[in-house]
Chain A
Amino acid sequence: MSRTYVLRRGLQAVGTLLVIVTALFFLFRLGLPDPTVALVTDGLSPEDRAAVRERFGLDRPLVEQYVIYLGNIVRGEFGTSFHYKAPVAGVVWEKFANTMVLMLVAIVFAYLLGIPLGAYLAWRRGTRTDTLGIVLGLTFRSAPMFWTGMLAVLLFGVALGWLPTSGMRTLPYEAANFFDKVFTLDFLRHLVMPATIIALFYLGSPLLIMRNTMLEVYGEDFIEMARAKGLPERDVLYRHAARNALLPVITQLAVTIGLAAGGQVVVEVVFSWPGLGREILQAVRTSDFPLAQATFMLMAVLVIAMNFLADLLYGALDPRVKLR
């Protein structure tokens, strides 16, 4: 992997982001109603409306607004949310942290469980266990999360009363910062259900990829070689085959994490989790341009960055892959 490749792909990523940001800017401005109409229900006088529009710069030509917007992004300013009347960056970071703590826990669990299970299924290929594992993995992936979430709430929240069913903490609570909020037993109790629902959904992906690549690797000469050396089957499985089969799983992990910020809106909705996905829905509904744009941009940045990382990892981990 040459330095020029990294540089070229990096530039490409920035270009992609620019296209997305531009498309989104115009899509929102042209597609959404004027925020002074959408936000104010009791009706502003024409003068007041003009004043508000001037204050937020909404009265200027669209292209000028766009240039100002790009300039602000470069300087790291994302504006003020119309709805929260607060800087967008603060709002977005808080929701982002809320989403990521949920998604990362779920994804990590899914992969920690899925990888060894996938390897095991490959080892037991063609048996009933194998079929059962595949069917289970696919079943979790085909069940929509809003449905499994609702059933979990119904069973563990309403019927059995074991776990809280909404939010991140029992209200009211006080927390000085994010870590204060998260490192409590109460938070864990709130986390269990949504995280499990997401983890089960994601489980199928590492499970099936791992199983398939293991089967591919089994056909390779070096496995034959390891067996010929008289190594125990377990060593062949875990030390030789699994390490090589991990590669696609790891790139898949990077891509999955990239998509995590976009999150699972439905899970956030079902469990009233104050995350980024619910925020963007709300922002678009109320024509809160700065918030919607910043939220979507953050999601896109993460996706692009992790896709980029996945590419680099692929090249770094597999010497056979030549990236030019």
Chain B
Amino acid sequence: MIITIASGKGGTGKTLVATSLSLSLGENSQFLDCDVEEPDGYIFLKPEIKKSEIVYLPKPKVDISKCKFCGLCSKICHYNAISVIKPKNKVLFFYELCHSCGACVLVCPENAIYEEKEEKGTVEIGTAKGIFSFIQGKLKIAQASPTPVIKAVKKHIRKDKINIIDASPGVSCPVVEAVKDTDFCILVTEPTPFGLNDLKLAIEMTKKMGIPSGVIINRSDIGDNKVEEYAKKEGIPILLNIPFKREIAISYSKGVPLVNIFPEYINKFREVYKKIEKILINKK
């Protein structure tokens, strides 16, 4: 089973839900932090990292002695990552735009473009108290594309475990990469116009990708009830309401999981898991 926690809007409580859900499911679950830009699960699960893998991607370079400055590489690059300045006999690569697709290498008529490997980030694998295992990805600072690191984290998904994936905020490429090929997506939101706006986008995303989803409303007693109404209208089940408590905010600030402060949430999260199982069985 693979469950991804996403949200659209940031700061709604994805990591709060993902860590507590994982802890509630215990040794049967493994936690995969796919918010590789800002991984925070480690703060709550306090893992012992046993192994670290570096994620490399090819980086194009030009052998200037072979280059005839025809400009074909620049013309075909869909990311505007290459500029060929003919009068100056210069080729510039803008690596922050490059996707390492290799198209420039393929089209160069002089075979003047070669590739070197470049570090994009790391994947750390370890253990954490109360769960089966802990995996997190970390994008290297000033690298633009998180997707290769997310892919590397997801290689550690195990079929015999319940895989809890913590995704990044938003609804574009890094979230699509995290949500892709998962069985169910939990969308965490808050009852404000921001939360509603971004929940609409997140539901559009999961529907487009054909992934069943459910909503958890965090700080459910502040704001308005439009989120609930919208979810009902869209036929998306509300899996859990987490009312606002200052103690929750304070324990979160210290990196203490919700289920450690309020153990009654263990059963609530197990119920959430049961609901998800039921939804998936009914779907089949």
Answer yes or no: are A and B bound together in one complex. Answer: no
